[in-house]
Structure 1
Amino acid sequence: MLRLDTQFEIRNLHAPRLFKVITLDELITFGTSSCAGDASFDDLLLYVEDADILDAQLLPSLPLGGLLIAKGELPVVDEGTVLLSNPRDAEVVRPGDVIALSPSSRMVRVLYRRGANSNLLFMTDRCNSLCLMCSQPPKDIDDQWHIEENLRLLDLIDPCAEQLGISGGEPTLYKEGLLAIIDKAKRIAPAKSLHVLSNGRLLSDPAWIAELKHMNHPALTWGIPLYGDTAEDHDHLVQAEGAFSETIRGIYNLGRAGQRIEIRVVLNQLTIPRLPQLAHFIFRNMPFVEHIALMGIESTGLAKKNHQTLWIDPLDYQDTLSSACHFLEVRGMNVSIYNLPLCVLKPSLMPFYRRSISDWKNLFIEECDGCSATEYCAGFFKSHSERWKSRGIHPLSRDELSHYTRSMS
C-alpha cells in the first residue's frame, strides 16, 4: 500500500501547478511526447535520484518547469524553476507520475501513477444520494475546479493503453464537465478505456442518449450500483426516495445510447437476503449489461457508522453468493466477485474471483503471513479493522489453494 501524497520542501512555486515527473533518459528520448496531450517543457519536472552524480552545470540549463531532487546537494536554479527536495517518503512520487502542487502547502498529491491499477479522475465530493455504506460521504460544496484539473491532467498522463476511472461523489452532477472530459479522453488517448462510476439517477434524462451516441467513445463503461430488485430495498440503501426508478431509467438510457454497462452490487446484510432475486431481475430486465460485479464492502466512511446494519460475515452468505453467480453464468452473463479475501470463499467461486482492490489502499493483515494464496488474493482495504473481520480468515496451505486453482481449469 503506497500513499498518494507526501510532503516536500518546495521552492519557487508561485501558483498551483500540475507537473509530469520524468527521468533524464525519458526527457532525451521522448521529450513532451511522454505526455498524452498538449504539453510543453514547462510542464515537465525532472526526477533526479542523486544530484551529486549529475553535472551540476547541466541541470539549471535544462528547459524544464522544475526539478525533483530525491537526495544530494541542491543545485542553484533561477526563480522560474520549481524545486522539490527532501521528501518525507521518497517512494511516493516516482517517474511517470503526474503531481499537483500548491504554494500554500508542502503536500504533493499524486493524481496519476504510472503502472497503477487504480488511476482515477476525481470529479466531485457532491452526491445526490447518501448510501448507507458510502466510503466517501458527500459534501455540499462547489468543487467544479476538479473539471479543469482533470482536463489538464489528461494532457500529462502517459499515452499508453490502460484504464482510467472517473468517480466522485456523483460525476453526472457536472454533466457538461463530465462530457468534456470523456470527449477529450477520446481525442487524445483513444486507447485508454474509461470506467465511470455513477448512481445512474441523472442519466434518467433522455438528453444523455443523443449526447453519448454523438460522442461515441470506443471504450467507455458505466458502473451503476443496483442494491435490490425492489424500489423499497434500493431506495432505503441509497437513502433517496425514487432512486430505484431513476436508476433503472438511467440504465435503459445508457443501453439505448449503445453504452457498455456494469451493474455493481455491494454485499451486505441488506442486499444478501434477496441477492438471488436481484440476479433474476438483472437477467430478465437487463440482459444487455456487459458485467455484474458482486462486491465486498469497504469498511470506511458511512459504513463504519452503519456497521450493525450492514455487517454480515462472508462465510454466512456463500451459498447465496454461489446461487447468484452460477445463475447468471449459465445464462451467459459475465459476473465477478470483488473485494473479498480468497480464504472466505467456496473454491467453486474461484472462476468469478478478481484481485480488485486499488493498489494504493490494498493490504494484507497479520493472519495472511505464510499464506500460499497472496498472489491470487484481493486482500483487504486499508480501512480494515477487527470488527469487519470474518471468522474464516486464515492462511491457505498449498493443498487448500489447489482446490481453488483446480476450479479455474
Structure 2
Amino acid sequence: MLRKETHFEICNLTGPRLLKVITVDEFIQKGLAVCAGEASFHDLLLWLPAATLQDDPQLLSLPVGGFLVPDALTTPTQDTLLVLHSPKEPDVVQPGDVVALTPNSTLVRVLYRRGSDSNLLFMTDRCNSLCLMCSQPPKDIDDHWHIEENLRLIDLMDPGEENLGISGGEPTLYRDGLLEILAKCKTVLPQKSLHVLSNGRLLKEPSWIEALAALQHPQLSWGIPLYADNATEHDHVVQAPGAFSETIQGLYNLARAKQIIEVRVVLSRLTTQRLPELAHYVFRNLPFVRHVALMGIESTGLARKHHEALWIDPLDYQEPLSQAVYFLANRGIPVSIYNLPLCLTPPHLSHFARQSISDWKNLFIDACQQCAAIEHCSGFFKSHTDRWQSRGIHPLSIEAFGAYARSAH
C-alpha cells in the first residue's frame, strides 16, 4: 500500500499551491511539455536530492515554483524560496507526481501519481443517496472548490495513457462542473480513458442525453451501481425511496447518449441472495451494458456501522455468485469479480477475478506473505480487520495456484 499523503518540512509557502514534481533532467529535456495542458515554470517543483544540491547549489537559481529535497536538507536556502524537505515517508512523493500544499500545514497530498491507473478526480463529498455500505459517508457542504482544483490538476498531469477515475460523493450533483471537466479531459488528456462513478439518479433528466452526445468523448465510461432486480431491495441498500426507478431511467439515458456503461454490484448479505435474478434483469432489461462488476465490500465508512446487516463470508455466496457470473458470461456480457482475494474465489471463477483495489489503499495481510498468488491477487482494502475476514483466507501453494492458472485457460 502506497500512501497518498505525507508530511514535509516546508519553508516559505505563502498560499495554496498545486505543483508538478520533476527532475532536473526532465526540466532540461522537456520543460513545460512535461505537463499535458497550460502551465508555467511557477507550476514546477524541482526534485533536488541533498547530494545534488550540495554539489551544485546554483540549481536553486532555476526559475521554478519551488524545490523538493527528498531527504534531509544540508544546504542553506534563500528565505524567499519555497522548499520542501525531510519527508516523513520518502517514498510517497516521486518525480512526475502532482502535489497539493496548504499554508500552515506540513501535509503534502498527492493528487496525481505518474504511471498509476488509480488516479482520481474527486468531485465532491456530497451525495443524494446514503448507501448502507458507503465507504465515504457524504457531507452536506458546499465544496465547489474541487471543480477548480480538478481543472488545474488536469493541466499538470502527464499526457500518457493511464486510466483516470472521476468520483465523489455524487459527481452529477455538480453537473456543469462535471461536464466542464469531461470536456477539458477530452481536449488536454485525449489518450486517457475516463471512468465516472455515479449512482445514476440525476441522469434521469433528459438534458443529459444531449450534453453527453455533444461531448463525444471516445473513451468515457460510467460505473453505475444496481443492487437488486427490484425497487424495494435496491432502495433499501441506498436508503433513498425512488432510487431504483431513477437509476434505471439514468441508465437508459446514458444508453441513448451512446455512453459506455458498467453496472456495479457490491456483494453483501443484502445483495448476494438474488444475484442470479439481478443477472437475469440486466440481460433482459439492460442489453446495452458493456460490463458487470461484482465487487467485494470495502469495510470502512458506513459499512462498519452496518456490519451485522452487511457481512457475509464470501464462502457462503459462491453458488449465487457462480450462477450470476456464468449466466452473464455465457450470454456475451463481460463480467468481472473485484476486491476478492483469489483464495476466496473458486478456481473455476478465477479467470473473472481482477486486481481491482487502488494502489493507495491496497493491503496484503500476514497470511498473504507466503502465498504463491500474491502478485496476481487483489488482496484487501487497507481498512480490512479480523471482523471482516473470511474463514477461508489461506496462502495458496504453487500447486494450488497452478490449478487456478489452468482454470483460467
* Offset, 1:170: 0.2
Amino acid of the structure 1 residue aligned with 2:380: F
2:222 corresponds to 1:259:
no
Secondary structure in structure 2 of the residue aligned to 1:195: strand
Name 2:156's counterpart in structure 1: 156
Name 2:390's counterpart in structure 1: 390
| Length-normalised TM-score, structure 2 | 0.98
Task: Give 1:351-370 correspondences, 5 Å limit.
Answer: 351-370=351-370
Name 2:403's counterpart in structure 1: 403
Task: Give 1:180-219 correspondences, 5 Å limit.
Answer: 180-219=180-219
Whole-angstrom distance in 2 between the partners of 1:96 and 1:52: 18
Instruction: Kindly provide the CA deviation profile for residues 149-181 of structure 1, in whole angstroms up to 9, marking residues without a partner as x.
Output: 000000001111111000000000000000000
* Offset, 1:78: 5.5
Whole-angstrom distance in 2 between the partners of 1:316 and 1:103: 50
Name 2:165's counterpart in structure 1: 165
* Offset, 1:106: 0.9
* Matched pairs, number: 408
Amino acid of the structure 2 residue aligned with 1:95: P
Whole-angstrom distance in 1 between the partners of 2:221 and 2:185: 13
Name 2:225's counterpart in structure 1: 225
Structure 1 runs (4+) greater than 6 angstroms displaced: none
* 2:50/2:75 contact within 8 Å kept: no
Whole-angstrom distance in 2 between the partners of 1:76 and 1:147: 35
Name 2:31's counterpart in structure 1: 31
Task: Give 1:64-213 correspondences, 5 Å limit.
Answer: 64-71=64-71, 72-77=73-78, 79=80, 81-213=81-213
Task: Give 1:319-334 correspondences, 5 Å limit.
Answer: 319-334=319-334
Whole-angstrom distance in 2 between the partners of 1:257 and 1:110: 34
Whole-angstrom distance in 2 between the partners of 1:56 and 1:76: 13
Which runs of 5 or more structure 1 residues have no equivalent in the other structure? none
Secondary structure in structure 2 of the residue aligned to 1:273: coil
Amino acid of the structure 2 residue aligned with 1:150: N
Whole-angstrom distance in 2 between the partners of 1:116 and 1:161: 10
* Offset, 1:76: 2.2
* 1:32/1:41 contact within 8 Å kept: yes
* 2:200/2:250 contact within 8 Å kept: yes
Task: Give 1:5-44 correspondences, 5 Å limit.
Answer: 5-44=5-44
Which runs of 5 or more structure 2 residues have no equivalent in the other structure? none
Task: Give 1:334-353 correspondences, 5 Å limit.
Answer: 334-353=334-353
* Offset, 1:69: 0.9
* Offset, 1:51: 4.0
Whole-angstrom distance in 2 between the partners of 1:49 and 1:339: 38
Instruction: Kindly provide the CA deviation profile for residues 255-297 of structure 1, in whole angstroms up to 9, marking residues without a partner as x.
Output: 0000000000000000011100000000001111110000000
* 1:161/1:191 contact within 8 Å kept: yes
Whole-angstrom distance in 2 between the partners of 1:286 and 1:82: 54
Amino acid of the structure 1 residue aligned with 2:143: D
* 2:54/2:74 contact within 8 Å kept: no
* Offset, 1:77: 2.9
Name 1:241's counterpart in structure 2: 241
Whole-angstrom distance in 2 between the partners of 1:52 and 1:2: 26
* Offset, 1:309: 0.1
Amino acid of the structure 2 residue aligned with 1:76: T
* Offset, 1:131: 0.1
Instruction: Kindly provide the CA deviation profile for residues 97-134 of structure 1, in whole angstroms up to 9, marking residues without a partner as x.
Output: 00000112111100001122210000000000000000
* 2:98/2:110 contact within 8 Å kept: yes
Whole-angstrom distance in 1 between the partners of 2:334 and 2:244: 23
Amino acid of the structure 2 residue aligned with 1:43: D
Instruction: Kindly provide the CA deviation profile for residues 356-404 of structure 1, in whole angstroms up to 9, marking residues without a partner as x.
Output: 0001111111111211110111000000000100000000011111111
Name 1:308's counterpart in structure 2: 308
| Length-normalised TM-score, structure 1 | 0.98
Task: Give 1:283-298 correspondences, 5 Å limit.
Answer: 283-298=283-298
Whole-angstrom distance in 2 between the partners of 1:60 and 1:358: 36
* Offset, 1:39: 0.6
Whole-angstrom distance in 1 between the partners of 2:288 and 2:54: 57
Whole-angstrom distance in 1 between the partners of 2:148 and 2:408: 44
* 2:65/2:82 contact within 8 Å kept: yes
* 2:36/2:159 contact within 8 Å kept: yes
